[in-house]
Amino acid sequence: MNRLKGFIYGLATSVTFGLIPLFTLPLMQGGMSLDSILFYRFLFATLALAGMMKLHKEPFGIEGRDIPFLLLLAGFYTASALFLFWGYDFMGAGVATTLHFTYPVFVTLLMLVLFRERASWVTWAAIVLAIYGVAKLSLKGGELVLDPMGMVIVLLSAVGYASYITTVNKSRVRTMNSRKLAFYVFVFTTLMFAVKAGLNEGIQPIPDALSATNLILLAVVPTVISNITLLLAVKYIGGTLTSILGAMEPVTAVCIGALVFGEAFTLQEAFGIVLILVAVTLIILSKPIQHTLSSVYRMIRPRHA
């Protein structure tokens, strides 16, 4: 039952996180800078989580030894977002999205190197299918040009996100209440983006009510909800499986682009979605698949011995 909950939370994380363009694009079209958008996103997310904790009468107190881990998590989260947006200056968003989605590979490698946890062949097959599916969704046009500097920057964003998931999975804060954990990560993330915005053009005022609504929705749906469900998914099924379920993020983004912004939906994108759905199905059914194949192997092996 807990495993099923983990898969549901993981899918909810990726679907809600994939809604970011729905709220971000109108803000950028309205003239807001990315620094300001990110600052308001995490500020409002922090306030929303504080309200939820007060409503549920959850204590805000933490132990002093938790602070280094919370700062580390905020650093990984901030670095992932910053490196990804910086990578957009060197390459197209599609290439950057595909490179960023290599983070399940880095999660798997970190779990292997640091904690000696090996992934099954089913997991690796799902990773390959998911990355190929994301590439089909994200890469449009014939020629693929990779800027070496941009490639390193975007891969650093993938490593940052993988490090965030791995730290949540294996550090002492794993047992912390999910709302409290997300709250403190967002507190520190907000401060980091405030500093970055201050070093550049500063924080812009919110221009109008529609922008305020989009910022609030950006803070609640693909930030508060997606991060709480992410923490719960990691708790129930671990970092590797949760990261692979993240392949539904670009699927959601493509669907939003087609249904809301009128973007063309191609056969290549349909093929990419099918590959991702196969990868997600492999992950959900990984244990039954391995059990069935092991049983078949045990039945066949004596005959050829």
Distance CA 250, CA 243 (A): 13
Neighbours of 49 (CB within 10 A): 27
Distance CA 4, CA 285 (A): 11
Distance CA 128, CA 233 (A): 21
Which of these, 134, 127, 34, lies nearest to 94 by C-alpha position? 134
* Tokens 């979605």 found at: 273
Distance CA 132, CA 126 (A): 10
In order along its 305 residues, the chain shows pLDDT tens digits of 788 999 999 999 999 988 888 898 899 889 999 899 999 999 999 999 999 999 999 999 999 999 999 999 999 999 998 898 888 778 776 677 778 888 999 999 999 999 999 888 899 999 999 999 998 887 766 555 567 898 899 899 999 999 999 999 999 999 999 999 999 999 999 999 999 999 988 999 999 999 999 999 999 999 999 999 999 999 999 999 999 999 898 888 888 888 887 878 889 889 999 999 999 999 988 888 877 877 777 777 655 44
Burial label for 172, CB within 10 Å (0-12, 13-18, 19+), is exposed
User: Which pair of structure tokens corresponds to residue 261?
Assistant: 């912004």
What is the model's pLDDT at position 265?
85
Which of these, 218, 202, 190, 194, lies nearest to 26 by C-alpha position? 218
Distance CA 280, CA 129 (A): 9
In a 13 Å sphere around the CA of 12, the CA atoms on its Cβ side amount to 19
Distance CA 235, CA 40 (A): 28
How is the chain classified by DSSP, letter by letter? -HHHHHHHHHHHHHHHHTTHHHHHHHHHHTT--HHHHHHHHHHHHHHHHHHHHHHTT------GGGHHHHHHHHHHHHHHHHHHHHHTTTS-HHHHHHHHTTHHHHHHHHHHHHH--PPPHHHHHHHHHHHHHHHHHH--SS-----HHHHHHHHHHHHHHHHHHHHHHHSGGGGS-HHHHHHHHHHHHHHHHHHHHHHTT-PPPP-SHHHHHHHHHHHIIIIIIHHHHHHHHHHHHHHHHHHHHTTHHHHHHHHHHHHTS-----HHHHHHHHHHHHHHHHHHTHHHHHHHHHHHHHHHHHHH-
Distance CA 11, CA 245 (A): 6
